[in-house]
Amino acid sequence: MEYCSGGDLGHLLKKAKGGIREEKIRPIICEIILAIRELHIRNIIFRDLKPDNVLIDREGHIKVTDFGLSKILRKDNYELSNSFCGSTAYMTPEMLQKKPHGKSIDWYGVGALLYECLVTVPPYYDEDQDKLYENITSAPLKLPTFLSEDCQ
């Protein structure tokens, strides 16, 4: 694997204090979308998208890393997985409810990642794990008013 001198997105987020500006995160998210799309074309679901799993090279391009929880699907998005895996704050409602899930969980992950980069915490975040699970499965998403109309 090539060296990514920009560190990971989690490190960039910590340095940003108050979130990463919309114009700075936009090209990063676009590249993440392309990476997830490529995985899905190859019938792979990633299942663990979070800032620490996105590396940034010296030119600002991204590399998605840590495929330990990924799954190769045998059929196009019709096959579903029942695994309970991933980082808690980024889990989908389906996964928490132990329902079958497919490629859509990666798109949820992209949204959760974007939210955290802009707001500094994952959507529905709570330090109490039971409350976090409850928030993910039933709470409405709260969008901060400081986000631009386009971003909202």
Domain range list for the chain? 9-138
- What fold characterizes domain 9-138? Transferase(Phosphotransferase); domain 1 (1.10.510)
pLDDT over 80 at 106, yes or no: yes
- Alpha-helix runs per DSSP H in the chain: 9-16, 22-41, 93-96, 104-119, 129-138
Quick one: what percent of the chain has pLDDT higher than 70? 91
Contact 52, 10 (CB under 8 A): yes
The pLDDT confidence band at residue 131, using thresholds 50, 70 and 90, is very high
Catalytic residues: 48
The confidence score (pLDDT) of residue 39 equals 95
The label of the residue with tokens 């979070």 reads 50
pTM exceeds cut of 0.85:
yes
